[in-house]
Structure 1
Amino acid sequence: MQQTISILDADGKGDTIADNLKAPLGRALVDYTADTHAILSGTSPGSPVGQDGITAHGDESSITSGKHSLLRVMRGVADGEVGTGPTGQPITAYDVMYESERRYAADYLTHAKPAGPGEAGNVVGDWDNRARHVGEVFGAMNAIGSDITLDDRDTKIGNMNDAARYGYHGFGGLITQFPVIGDPAQRMIDAATYEWSKDVAAEHEAMALKKESTDAAAGVGATNSLIDSFATGQGANGSVAHEHARGEAKQSYITGREDAYSALRTRK
């Protein structure tokens, strides 16, 4: 996959991929969700420039592509249709990549340091780090989705049917290769799905109408819904640690989105 990304983006044109390659490449990228999450969050070796080769650790090997190259390739495959949902609506490679990133993010948060006795009201550094990573990833993913809307290549993005599009129920076997997540992460997904889908749809619609707010309120709200579900599960809802993590996620969301736009070069 690393070589594929390198070849496709050799001239910085990874966002222009042949139609017949979009769906298979989109499905393939889903299998690399852990790696793409690390690259988009800036935690991959050599990030953001990347490395010439993979990080080889046996079964734990990972790709280390440059962030901007990956973003352009993800954008290039995003509007490829990979299947249909329960009501016959098209499911795009972007939908599946987004949902896979969301599942991974939920599981990633569940591995944060637990709020033990007396810690719920304190700033927990590990929460800040993970919230920052999650925010940056979803800022980038929302930029890709908004770019689709701006390019008018997928008119369905602004009219998603709430959880049917981004909710996990409608994806069936499309992401069967994605690693199984634990029950705590699944509960977070259940709690956040409705608000997440509403906020994502709102951001895409705002972008299409050129009414995007400067603080990306809709997208930040979507990211916060996942952070909130995590904090609630920790019994730390409303604590200093919770609010601090939300702040970190917001700043990194904006950073990730703006960086993605600079890679895609389509924002007016």
Structure 2
Amino acid sequence: MGRLDGKVALITGGARGMGKAHARHFVAEGARVVIGDVLDEKGEYVAGKLGPDLCRYVHHDVTSEEQWAAAVAATVDAFGRIDVLVNNAGILTNATIADMPLADFRRVLDVNLVGCWLGVKAVIAPMTAAGGGSIVNVSSIEGFAGAAGLSAYSAAKFGIRGVTRAAAQELGKVGIRVNSVHPGGVMTRMVMETAQSFSSVDPVQFINSMPIPRFAEPVEISRLVAFLASDEASYSTGSEFVADGGILSGPGY
């Protein structure tokens, strides 16, 4: 018996990184999954490895309302329903406020925050028709504490907290739970490239200062996401779940 037996999930940004780990873990826990991304070759590969009976891929730009409608329709067409949405897609631009072009700032907000809001909006009707569901919005520890060079990313991740709480208030009565997950350092290409760009911080010293002195493997975040997607989290909504190795617990570094 899997934690997600019988569930159908749509996972954005599923072609690589945490999204790929979420897809694999959800299938291992008994779910059927549709992954969306703009990286078609990688997305098709991930879905192909999991098999068409368990996973499908759809091209999905999360900034497009039309593509959200198509991704949700593809999920329902493939597997008959949608029980879980994981708003995982995101991008990161590292630049100071002084140096960042306005277009770059808006692009990060469009993908990370507006894309999340559009996803919540897109699944309300089919989840309500199915009798409820679970939405898991992937934020970050930068949704609690800003970081130099990450003004756009931090703004978007702070914003996800507000969208999550408002959606939980609106959707609880129709059986839809909405929670946010806040990872710290995770061993993905995006995170590692960002860490390397902060030349003023010694990554080894930073990691050694953490209560759990290492970055997470992606599946360690996937387990938390799967719990929130499952019926085991049936009384959790509008809440924020941190998985950061203790970074936010104190001033360590």
Bigger fraction of residues in helix: 1
* TM-score, length-scaled by structure 2: 0.34
Bigger fraction of residues in strand: 2
Point out which structure has higher relative CO (alpha carbons under 8 A, 6+ apart): 1
